[in-house]
Structure 1
């Protein structure tokens, strides 16, 4: 049950959020009012938002590819631009298929792909215990979630069988992490943001090992920034995959796809 959204209560929340610097105060107020179960809960949610917590952490969920994905403090919030990666993956995923979601965070990518297609055998991994807890909640009966670094916790039986490998790896250069908005810098795990010196350290690790896990004709999909795209494409290609870069002007998204040659 949501709090009754009287004009006075809505106006009060909007005024409070706007004073705290929330650019989309009206939209945020409507979401808070719709989500809170009691006036006391609403007051607490507004207080947390004013204190700087990401709206999604306050609500307890984020919208992604039409799904309501559970998130919370210490968990990376899936970005709307990453929906472009999922859209690309949908077009590459055979039915039935084996899908792996590395650096899965909340499990949003794998869950969205499995929800969009039938016959997906989904496996997901993340090194952060908090992320794994939320991923297991979001993935539910759609697949299995493992705790560990990249490929390490995956069963060996998946080697050479993966049709689609989703890897939303951290790609912010270490020196730029402190320039991120406070919501990300303070409230999301650094391991989900910091990609090393040039931002591509984790991507290189994934690209180097991916050919041993992909099935012939299988594809790796990684998100990167426009300015990193050429180096990211080179990194994916150096692992033996055939790379190409896809972009979306609408979502301001860049995805590198690397396909294992068919033997």
Structure 2
């Protein structure tokens, strides 16, 4: 039996909208194209699906309606120009992080044009999204990616296979000491949600992204404090630090870096929606001042 596409989509969109899904039309189209085995752009050419495809589509819509992330259902996510395998146990990359990654590429590109091979360390790599995007757009980079979670690292290993990125599994606080004082750029999307903000986080994130990648102490800044200290030892003089933070941390996150004493030119940047999103700084030539 054939099932016309239009009523299937209409019913799915209604169900997803009633469930509070942010993008019901887009999600329904992605799921239907998945079961039909076509790219979403070709969906308008599809008139009907068979019984098995209709049943699978209904099952996927039900799962999305209970707020299982779309990327977990499709098994993939997109970040800048790269595709990533994702699923349970790893943080799903967000579009906001693409802006910070673009800033990093802009800083690194002149060095590559000078026939240098800049050294980059990505901390809290998760799926490997940032590292993979960096070497995709600037293949001459030397990139090391660090991830504490063994579950997430398995996804990163899969995504970074064949890219030349060197993956390290372990605590970022002790990451790659052999690179101390030699790194051109440290980049990270660390955990930054305060513990008391648990209930305000969307179900897709709160219930399915790993807590290790989300929450970071009472004020959300614990990982950023560690990140700042690690960057101070890894970076060469004039090396660059950039990291993402919550939109409510547009003042507090840069303040952590400024208070450390090892950095200059500390500034904050906004994402495409105009919200504070990431902090950048330059490693000073003076020795780091230990906090306290």
- State whether TM-score is above 0.5: yes
In structure 2, the partner of 1:204 is: 225
Which one has the largest radius of gyration? 2
In structure 1, the partner of 2:290 is: none
In structure 1, the partner of 2:174 is: 152
Gaps of 5+ in 1: none
Alignment of 1:25-174 (within 5 A): 25-36=24-35, 37=37, 39=53, 40-93=55-108, 94-95=111-112, 96-142=117-163, 143-154=165-176, 156-174=177-195
TM-score (norm 2): 0.81
- In the alignment, the residues of structure 1 paired with residue 274 and residue 157 of structure 2 have an alpha-carbon distance, to the nearest angstrom, of 27
Q: Secondary structure at the match of 1:141?
A: coil
Aligned length: 260
How far has the Cα of 1:122 moved from its partner? 1.2
How far has the Cα of 1:253 moved from its partner? 4.3
Matched-pair contact (CA < 8 Å) for 1:106–1:131? yes
Tell me whether 1:213 sits opposite 2:234 in the alignment: yes
User: Which string of whole-angstrom CA distances, capped at 9 and with x for unpartnered residues, describes residues 88-123 of structure 1?
Assistant: 111222321111111111111111111111311111
Matched-pair contact (CA < 8 Å) for 2:268–2:276? no
How far has the Cα of 1:209 moved from its partner? 2.4
- In the alignment, the residues of structure 2 paired with residue 5 and residue 27 of structure 1 have an alpha-carbon distance, to the nearest angstrom, of 18
Gaps of 5+ in 2: 38-51, 287-292
- In the alignment, the residues of structure 2 paired with residue 19 and residue 246 of structure 1 have an alpha-carbon distance, to the nearest angstrom, of 35
